[in-house]
Amino acid sequence: MRNSPVYRYNIEDEKWDKYGPYRPVLHITMHQLHVTLQMIQNDVNEIIPKNSRLKQFITDTLSPDDKIHQHVTLHLHPFIPDENDNHEELLRRTMRYVEQCLLSDCPGNNLTQLLARHTFHKEDEIFQKLPHQNNDRPTLDDTKCHIIRQLSTLEKAKRVTSINNYQNIVTAIAEDINRVDNYRKNRQEQLTITRNSISEIEEIRLNYQKRLERYANYLKRFNE
């Protein structure tokens, strides 16, 4: 019997590659998949392009030769939002990847040099210790490749430019760092003010408590 069909994530597809190395995966039984696909079978020609790989996948999957208890693995494609929102999200994602490179002590006078330099084992070790989404562990070289492809997409959208070595990415990261630092500074000041207020309130409470104790002692002597 032939192997179960698998609709694989196409790493060459730039439209999907912008989502980076994190690929959502769905493990599903053939029975569940059959039920789902049969529900859309009548409308498949209207909702899926004629030459689509997905349509071929559906045709293969609905073949009666498949065993109903087999499992199939689907590498899912995220829904693409509005193009402007998509570029903004891609920009933020690229910034996060660049931050990870910087935190891994990747050298370079600018982003172009950083991405072009050879990755040393020590840098990749630091990179692997950083928190990653969905417990994925891409290599530092993989992340650099994703950054390069994402920068190409962003440059086509005129969000960045290679003329200045993508300086606006670095500038945006620096602004984010300053924003976080200012937020932490403000929070620290607020916490200090709050602690002082609590101390003052506690002091007032103790004064009232002492006064109540004096009144209580006075009333006790008066009643005696």
Paired with 29 in beta bridges are 71
Please give the Cα distance from 149 to 185 (Å, whole number): 36
Q: How do the domains of the chain map onto residue ranges? A: 20-75, 87-170
pTM: 0.51
Contact between 160 and 169 under an 8 Å Cβ cutoff? The reply is yes
Q: Could you read off the pLDDT tens digit of each residue along the chain, which spans 224 residues?
A: 334 333 343 444 444 444 444 556 666 666 776 677 677 666 666 666 666 666 676 666 666 554 555 666 665 654 444 445 578 888 888 999 999 999 999 998 999 999 998 889 999 889 988 887 666 678 888 889 889 989 998 998 888 999 999 998 999 899 988 888 888 888 888 889 888 899 899 999 999 988 888 888 877 777 66
Paired with 27 in beta bridges are 73
Please give the Cα distance from 170 to 153 (Å, whole number): 17
Amino acid code (one letter) for 135: N
pLDDT digits (tens, 9 = 90+) for 71-105: 666 656 544 444 455 788 888 889 999 999 999 99
- Helices 83-103 and 140-156, interaxial angle, to 10°? 140
